């Protein structure tokens, strides 16, 4: 599940790069990919950093070891609650301001990633 969510996010970032730097016409225009809340020169590096962290998390879960895999109460509580609040905020944004659907949907993808990690930690800690 984590790898699939990461792949979706990577495809989103790649699509936005193709539109922003290569003026690809078969994809939606930049306005559809980008809500404008953060300048793209800062957004792209932050997206790449997220991809790096998400990849590390996926690798840890695939190997069954590593910092992000070992049961941690933080991931089972604060991290998980952050995921729920983040998802709720993005659902509310969609209900009240469906201005840029691509970023909104991919915030749901990121929230699902956070929640999936948190639920895994919670389930394993409960054993």
Number of domains in the chain: 1
Range of the domain at 86: 2-126
The conformational region for residue 27 under phi > 0 = left, psi -120 to 50 = alpha, else beta, is: beta
Q: What is the pLDDT along the chain (127 residues), one digit of tens a residue?
A: 999 999 999 999 999 999 999 999 999 999 898 888 899 999 999 999 999 999 999 999 999 999 999 999 999 999 999 999 999 999 999 999 888 899 999 999 999 999 999 999 999 999 9
CA nearest to 41, candidates 24, 16, 6: 16
Hey, what are 15's tokens? 């699509």
């Amino acid at each position: 599940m984590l790898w699939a969510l990461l792949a979706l996010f990577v495809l989103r970032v790649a699509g936005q790069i193709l539109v922003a730097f290569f003026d690809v016409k078969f994809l939606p225009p930049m306005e559809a990919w980008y809500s404008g809340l953060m300048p793209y020169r800062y957004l792209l590096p932050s997206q790449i950093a997220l991809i790096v962290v998400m990849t590390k998390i996926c690798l840890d879960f695939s190997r069954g070891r590593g910092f992000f895999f070992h049961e941690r109460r933080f991931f089972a509580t604060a991290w998980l609650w952050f995921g729920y609040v983040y998802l709720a905020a993005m659902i509310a944004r969609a209900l009240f301001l469906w201005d840029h659907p691509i970023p909104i949907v991919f915030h749901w993808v990121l929230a699902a990633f956070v929640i999936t990690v948190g639920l895994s930690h919670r389930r394993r800690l409960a054993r």
